Each structure stands twice: as C-alpha cells, then as structure tokens.
Amino acid sequence: MKVTGVKVTPYAFPPAGKPAGRHATSGSIVELMTDSGLTGIAIGADGAHTQIERLVGEMLVGADPRATSGLWRQMTDAQAAPNEGYASTTIAVLDVALWDLKSKANDEPLWKTLGGSRPRANAHGGGIAPTMSDHELVDWYRALSRDYGLRGATLVIGGDEDRDLARLEAMRTTLRQETTAATLIVDAEQRWAPDEAIRRLRTMERMFDVAWVEGATRSGDIPGLKQISDAIRGAVCVGRDLGTRAEFLPHFQDRSADVIELDIGVVGITGALELADAAYGFELPVTLAEAPGNIQAHLASVMPYFMSMEVVDPAARWPVFTSDVRIEAGWAIAGDAPGNGLAVDREALSAATRDGS
Amino acid sequence: MKITGYRVEQYLMKMDRLVGDANLPSGVEMLPGSILYLETDENITGISLGYGGGIDALFGAIEGADPREAVALWIRMNDWLHKAGNEGAASASLSAIDVALWDIKAKLADEPLWRTLGAREGRVRAYASGLDYCLSDEELFAFYRRMAEQGIDTGKLKVGLDVEADLRRLGIMREALSIASPRPGLMIDANEYWSPKQAVRYVRQLEEHFELIWVEEPARRWDYHGLRLVSQQVNAAVASGENLHNLAQVYPLIANRAVDVINVWTGQSGVTGLRQIAHMAHVHGLPVSMMNAQANYMAHIAAALPNHNMMEVVDPGREHCLKWDNHLEDGFIVLGDAPGFGIEVDEAKLKELQANPPTGRGKFPFPRREGAGRYIVPPPPGEVPWR
C-alpha cells in the first residue's frame, strides 16, 4: 500500500449558532489517497494546503502509510525549524490521516489499531467565548450537563474580576444541578503575569474549588508556572500550544505543570502517544484538547494516565463532515467505523467551499 | 476475536558456547527456555519467548478479551497488580503476555510486527556482544571476526576484574572488528561489579588507551547518583536499565540525567512497557538500545522506536526449536515479512529437548560475584582461560 497524493479542500462556514469561541469556522479537509483505494481523512487548518501538498510530495508519496512512527520521525527530522508553527500543524494533520489509513487497512476503528479497548473517555466542556452573555452562558452549561452529562466545564477568564467570579458561580450552580462531582476548569489564556495569576486565582479559590487552570501565564515561562503551581491549590495545566518534545521537556523536568494538555492538531497522534508515555513516567495526568469530530476519544484508552478530553461541541454539528464519536452521559464514545470515523459530507463541502471563496 | 487459553512449555538448552561476565567469568552453557502460547478463537496463536512462568495469576485479566486491544490490556494487567506492584515474577508474567498479545495483533493484520508498530523498514543496526569473559583470547578474536564478517563494526566487551587483561582484550576485539570499519566502535560492560568510584578509576585507565562509546552497568541499576557520577567523570556514555522492569523504576535514571543510553527489552513490562520507557527517554533526548534476544525477535520493536541506536547481537546458539524470519546483513538485522514476530516453534524439536534434556556446564541465571561493589576478586588461575 502506497500513498499516491493528497487533496486539500478548504471550507468556510458562518459562526452563527456556535457558542464556543474556539471552534474553527474555517478549515480544510485533507484526504490522503493511496493505490489501494483507501483514503485517509483529517481536518486541517484553513490556508495550510501549500505546506501540506509540499510535504506529501516530498515525504509521503510512494511511502507505505502504515509506517506511522517512521514517517512521523522522517517528517519531524526533516524540518529546519523542527516541528514548530506551521510545520507542526502540517505534520500533525498528515499524521492523523496516516493513522486513519493504517486502521482502515486493518478494517478496524482507530482505537483498536492503537491497541485500545472501546473508549469511554471522560469528557469535559471546553472554553466558552467571553463574548457570550451571562444568560447564554447558563443555557450553554445547562445543555452540556443536562443533555450530555458532562461533569466538568471550562470558563475563559482573565478580564474583569467580578464578572469572572459571577460567571464561575453561574457555571458551578448550573453544573451542580446535574452532578455532585462538578469539575470547574478556568482558562486565563496566558494573559496574566505570574504574580497577578497567583493573586487572582487565590481570590477565586477562596470561593471555588478549581480543578485546574489553563493559560495561567505564558506557556514558555517555566519558573512562572512553577511559582503559580506552588501557590495555588488547583493544578496548573500546560501544553495546548506546545508542539515539540523540547518544549514539553522543561515542564516535565521542573514540574511547572501538574496536568499535561495534548492537542493532536499540534503534536499529531504519534507525538501525543510519545508525550503521554513520558507524562505517565512523571505521573502527570493527560488531558486531550478539542479536535474536529472529537476523534481524540480514540486515544484515551491507550494513554495510561488519561484524565479527560475537551469537548467544545457535544452535538457534533460539523457542517462538512460527520464523526463516529458521540457524547453520552459525560463520556465520549467512539464507534466501530474503520479508521478515525470521519466522513466527508460532499454536498455540504461543495456548498461551504463556494460560500467561503 | 477473543483470547481463549494458554499453555507454557519449558525446556533446557545447551548453547554452542559458554557465556559469562564479571560475575561469573568461567561462564555457563545451559539456558532455560520457555514459550508462552496465547490461544484465540480464530486459529491464531501468540508466541512469546522468555521466562514467563506463573501466567495463571494474570490470565484472568485478559481471558475473553480481544488481543488486538494490547495497550488497554496492558493497563488492565498493570492495574490488577496495583497492590503487589508490577515487579518480580508478576512483571515477568505481564511482560510475557504483552509480547504474545502484540504477536497476535500483528498476525491478525497479516503483517510483521515492525509494520504494525509503524516502522518504515524492518532494519535495525546491530552491535556484537560476546558475553565473553569466559572466552580465551583466540575465541574472543574468532567471535568478533565472525561478527565483523557480517558487517558489524561495533563490539561490547565484558570487563571488570583485571585492567591489564581488559586492555589487551579490547585491542583484540578492535583488531577483529577492523575488517568492518577502520574505526570500530568499542563498548564495555561491567554488569554492576563496581562501586561508582571504582568504575571511574577503572574506566579512566581503559580510556587512556581506548575511546569507548559506552560503559554498561558501571554501578547498581537504581543508583542514579552513582550512575550520574560515573557519567560525569568518564568520557564514555553510561548505559543501564536492563535489570529494571517498568517505567516507574527507570524514571529516576531519566529524570535525574543519570544515564546517557537506556537499555531496553521486553522484560520491561513487554512491548508496551518498553515502548513507554523509550518514549520517555526520547522526550529527554536519550537514545535506547535493544538487548539481545533469541532469534533477535526484539528487533521488530527496535525498528519502530524513534530513538533506537543499535541492538545487541550475541548469537550463542539459542534457537534449537525455533524458526525465524530475519538475518544479519551488512551490520544490520534485516527482518522479513512473516506475520508477527516471525517466530515459529518446531514442536518436534521442542518435545525432543523436553524428553532428553541436554547437560552441560552451569546454568543461567547466575549470582552476583563476591566483592561486587566493594573490592575486586580477580579470577584465580583456572577460572578463566585468559589468565
């Protein structure tokens, strides 16, 4: 089995009805084609098609897509600026497509090819756009907890302090209507200096039991994050925007993170598996950032210290593709469709391509 | 697909020659073998070579499960061992089962394990390792020359009891390997015979004459202070890890920068467990090196590791009842396309070995030598052929 080429189809759709700020409103469908007729599918960023086409031409055409680990190494080794920025997301999206092919070649779902058991991955609600009104916020958390059973949710904070506290109270009250185990997560989006983070988080912790904080300060500030972790009760979560082993290493070594967040859109599936094993060595829990189609659920059961995965849209309303992962009673459950379970909706894609161009 | 049962066959082998190290320089030629057969409802059997007795206690964790879910089953077995710990005999059983699960997983996909694990090619760089303290100078030369004729240009000598003799024998090993490279790679292995400071004194004397790639087990396996001290005070890299059995045990060595190379093998909680160790080492920028194995079966795993440097090849004759699908070529282990580990058991030969066990000198494993870690007891005349 050999890779013969790639087709990248950019799409765009309006953000209306999307309460979550992070959810991409544009992107591209990446289809890795082979001589066996199987196609590997992954969802990439918008505007990345030049890099993707070049990398496929240089590295993947003619290669056996089942060589996920070897090709990952070849792609990351070949980068002048190894695995950072665009290079990182380009390699990651191709790695996801290669794993899709590898599991399709086995005619089994990705979770099984990875060596997993049927994933029932603990899930939590992702970050909410600060632009949402308080009323919309409550409706949103109610939907997450009542309709999908999510026990944890994230609030983006870091603006006005009183407003943050009021909204956190609203989130807690709403979640508690459905569960006794409400998990409160906050994301300050790297806006604070360490001393400001400590002051604001300590104030918050006088009223709230915060499970973990994302973006407490800049992700490159190892001593600052360590200082925050030493000063607050909750866990400091780091990793969403880190792409390389070299970027994660100081956080492991200096314990500047208590929770490691991995984004398969940045570190790929292969990188996520490597980093999850390293995190396990340090007894650090792993959370998986949102991925289109929630396909990160496939990885949960092969990560020894998997903790939770982020879900931004439990209703799975992706306009141009469908996913075989569903959110139910607080768990993300992957189905039995071969590969990662993503399927392209051709009609919607062609409409979205037209609208976006 | 479901796991339905298992059987374990144990037997005794007489190797083609003696093998020994600083702990027993006179060597042994007898090796106990065992084969775990993990059975499924689909006429595919997983084969695991090694020392896996005592499967009973863990079999309940995997009975009826789909063997393709190898990693999740590893986590389940590891969780089963929560109180007692993934240690000792329990760890050996977990390791043996995990290897068989991966064999089944690859066989079901009808592909060699190196492909299942995502390697681009079934090809692993090899180094020669004589386990040679029991060999005469002539036998030593013959072993490394035979390896060099197959393209291997790096060798690892057993050392630790006699600086003068070790210097002479390093020269012999280098000469024998010199047909493969004008600059053969030289390594040494003390099998924990020294204290850290003994190691520093000893290795620096050798380094006055030879450049060494690594010194293996210069101090105790868990002594991360001692191993780091040796690493800092000698030119050679320090390698260790083969006697540790899971990631938790290796963690202090990696986190404290105590070693420069991690020795890995399936006894470290199977394919899954050794891969965890390799991944953690990789994140820390450390290479790993696969230990020797019957029929070099572990090369399948090495081929897919992102940070593997070279694999130990001993070839003492341990394949009496095995058929395998790999060969040495130009200094590399070249793996074939036979499914799984590519190992088949010759059942008739196995029965024959069990019915008529061979006899010979000594038996693996052997104990630690007197004086280890404190003072050197040089071999008296007659203990080794080189004095």
Q: Which two tokens stand for residue A124?
A: 């939590």
pLDDT at A354: 62
Q: CB distance A274–B306 less than 8 Å?
A: yes
Q: Would you tell me the crossing angle of helices A264-281 and A245-253 to the nearest 10 degrees?
A: 30
Say whether B380 sits in a helix, a strand or coil.
coil
In chain B, list all ranges with CATH 3.20.20.120: 114-355
How confident is the model over A108-114, as a mean pLDDT? Answer: 97
Q: What does the block give as tokens for A93?
A: 């999206």
- Residue A296, classified by CB atoms within 10 Å of its CB into exposed (0-12), middle (13-18) or buried (19+), is buried
pLDDT digits (tens, 9 = 90+) for A156-201: 999 899 999 999 999 999 999 999 989 999 999 999 999 999 999 9
- pTM of the full predicted structure? 0.92
Phi, psi of B138 (to 5 degrees): -70, -45
pLDDT value of position B366: 84
Query: Would you tell me which CATH number, out of the four given (3.30.390.10, 3.40.50.620, 3.30.565.10, 3.90.1150.10), belongs to the domain B3-110?
Result: 3.30.390.10
How far does the CA of residue A82 sit from the closest CA of chain B (Å)? Answer: 14
* Interface mutation vs chain B, best among A73, A77, A103, most B CBs within 10 Å: A73
* Cα–Cα distance for residue pair A120/B133, rounded to 1 Å: 53
Given this model, what pLDDT does residue A84 score?
58
CATH code of the domain made up of B114-355 = 3.20.20.120
Nearest to B283 among A63, A73, A274 (CB): A274
Portion 116-145 of B in contact with A at CB < 8 A: 116-121
The interface pTM score, or ipTM, of the predicted complex is 0.86
In the 3-class helix/strand/coil scheme, how is chain A assigned residue by residue? CCEEEEEEEEEECCCCCCCCCCCCCEEEEEEEEECCCCEEEEEECCCCHHHHHHHHHHHHECCCCCCHHHHHHHHHHCCCCCCCHHHHHHHHHHHHHHHHHHHHHCCCEHHHHCCCCCCEEEEEECCCCCCCCHHHHHHHHHHHHHHHCCCEEEEECCCCHHHHHHHHHHHHHHHHCCCCCCEEEEECCCCCCHHHHHHHHHHHHHHCCEEEEECCCCCCCHHHHHHHHHHCCCEEEECCCCCCHHHHHHHHHCCCCCEEEECHHHHHHHHHHHHHHHHHHCCCCEEECCCHHHHHHHHHHHCCCEEEEEECCCCCCCCCEECCEEEECCEEEECCCCECCCEECHHHHHHHHHHHC
pLDDT (0 to 100) of residue A314: 87
Please, are residues A13 and A355 in contact by the beta-carbon 8 Å criterion? yes
Q: How far apart are CA A279 and CA B220, in angstroms?
A: 25
At residue A81, the pLDDT reads 53
Query: What integer pLDDT is reported at residue A357 of this predicted model?
Result: 44
Task: Return the residue of B nearest to A76 by Cα.
Answer: B306
Q: Does residue A17 have a pLDDT over 50?
A: no
pLDDT at B54: 79
Min CA distance, A313 vs chain B (Å)? 27
pLDDT tens digits, one per residue of A304-354: 999 999 998 888 778 899 999 999 999 999 999 999 999 999 998 888 876
10-residue mean pLDDT profile of chain B (387 residues): values are 95 95 95 95 94 81 96 95 87 95 97 97 98 97 98 98 98 98 98 96 97 98 96 98 96 96 97 98 96 98 97 96 97 98 98 96 89 93 93
Residue A313 confidence (pLDDT): 83
CB-facing half-sphere around the CA of A241: CA atoms within 13 A: 10
Question: Mean pLDDT, chain A, as a whole number?
Answer: 91
pLDDT band at residue A80, thresholds of 50, 70 and 90? Answer: low
* Interface touch A115/B248, C-beta < 8 Å: no
pLDDT of residue A48: 79
Q: Write down all domains in chain A, each with its CATH number in brackets.
A: 3-108+343-356 (3.30.390.10), 112-334 (3.20.20.120)
Indicate the pLDDT class of residue A82, thresholds 50, 70 and 90.
low
